[in-house]
């Protein structure tokens, strides 16, 4: 059941970040776009609405699936996943369970919000709470008092910054793909207008991820030096390398590929090159989430504070 727990964690993190980052992308990316290319914007909003609704359902389903997986992992028996007594003990008798009940409630409210409204702002607010609440579980939440609060706030900032970046890549990639298929429909122009605010957000997100990640490494591992001394640390080191590769690719996209989209039309070739690069970023980001899903099931090094 450990593999099932890791898979559920991966899917839950990915879906939650897709909701938060996708809703944020709609809010910061298109001020005044409705007047200049209404057809492309309406089409994007329709697709984005379906994405947010689907991701909200997946976040709720994967969050529910984590409970029996965790019960089986804690009990050391696959049969425990279907034992009502053990499931009740996990949900109502552990610190994780108390937080997770609230978290699942937020996921349910998010499904309701994405079902009832096409406005991005309420979905963004619910997505922020859902993603941020993940900081209340796991290794950063192990400490108590002010130290525990500080770790949780640091982890919340880390998750939200990652969600802005990774989740925003999903609608950006779709928009660039549509620009290669329908260059005359305004999608390339819409993508061109969205790139500067996405880049500005990306600078801030990269900085926050780096700073908060360094704090997490120092607290949980004891610094950069002991990284290679444990399985936990080695996976964390691989995560750092993937993050560095993702940042390098993002810089290439920003300073080499994105400016081509601002040149004279046709935009098809420029949009296609940038779309492929964004897909590569998404692959790296998904690999990082996979490592996070595994790392969260391992104990930090004993030498960590």
Structural domain contains residue 303 = no
pLDDT for the residue 173: 92
> What would the two tokens of residue 294 be?
């595994």
Residue 174 lies in a domain: yes
- Structural domain for 13, as ranges: 2-295
In the chain, the number of structural domains is 1
In a domain, 27, yes or no: yes
220: left (phi over 0), alpha (psi -120 to 50) or beta: alpha
Indicate whether 18 belongs to any domain: yes
Tokens of residue 65, six digits: 């699936």
Chain centroid, CA 191 distance in Å? 21
112 part of a folded domain? yes
Nearest Cα to Cα of residue 45 among 62, 61, 59, 33: 33
User: What residue spans of the chain are helical by DSSP H?
Assistant: 2-29, 33-36, 38-75, 84-92, 95-116, 120-132, 145-181, 187-221, 231-252, 268-295
Asked if residues 130 and 167 have their Cβ atoms less than 8 Å apart, the reply is no
User: Is 194 a member of any domain?
Assistant: yes
Residue 305: the pLDDT is 38
Task: Show the CA angle centred on residue 91, arms to residues 212 and 161, nearest 5°.
Answer: 20
CATH code of 265's domain? 1.20.1630
Instruction: List the chain residues with pLDDT less than 50.
Output: 35, 303-305
Burial 77-103 (b: 16+ CB within 10 A, else e): eeebbebeebbebbbeeeebbebbeeb
* Residue 304 placed within a domain: no
Q: Note whether residue 17 is domain-resident.
A: yes
């Amino acid at each position: 059941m450990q593999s099932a727990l890791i898979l559920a964690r991966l899917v839950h993190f990915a879906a939650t970040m897709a909701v938060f980052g996708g809703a944020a992308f709609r809010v910061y990316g298109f001020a005044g776009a409705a007047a200049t290319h209404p057809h492309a914007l309406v089409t994007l909003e329709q697709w984005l609405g379906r994405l947010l609704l689907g991701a909200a359902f997946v976040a709720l389903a994967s969050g529910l699936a984590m409970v029996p997986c965790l019960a089986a992992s804690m009990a050391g028996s696959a049969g425990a996943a279907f034992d009502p007594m053990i499931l009740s003990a996990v949900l109502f008798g552990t610190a994780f369970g108390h937080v997770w009940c609230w978290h699942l409630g937020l996921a349910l409210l998010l499904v309701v919000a994405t079902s009832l409204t096409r406005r991005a702002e309420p979905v963004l607010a619910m997505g922020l709470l859902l993603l941020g609440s993940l900081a209340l579980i796991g290794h950063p939440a192990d400490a108590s008092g002010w130290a525990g609060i500080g770790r949780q706030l640091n982890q919340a900032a880390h998750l939200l910054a990652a969600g802005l970046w990774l989740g925003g890549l999903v609608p950006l990639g779709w928009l660039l793909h549509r620009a290669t298929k329908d260059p005359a429909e305004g999608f390339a122009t819409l993508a061109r207008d969205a790139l500067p605010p996405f880049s500005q957000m990306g600078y801030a997100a990269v900085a926050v991820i780096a700073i908060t990640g360094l704090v997490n490494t120092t607290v949980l591992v004891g610094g950069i030096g002991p990284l290679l001394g444990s399985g936990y640390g080695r996976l964390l080191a691989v995560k750092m390398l993937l993050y560095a590769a993702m940042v390098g690719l993002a810089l290439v996209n920003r300073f080499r590929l994105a400016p081509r989209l601002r040149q004279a039309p046709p935009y098809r070739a420029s949009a296609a090159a940038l779309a492929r690069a964004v897909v590569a970023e998404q692959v790296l980001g998904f690999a990082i989430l996979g490592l996070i899903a595994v790392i969260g099931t391992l104990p930090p090094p004993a030498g960590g504070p």
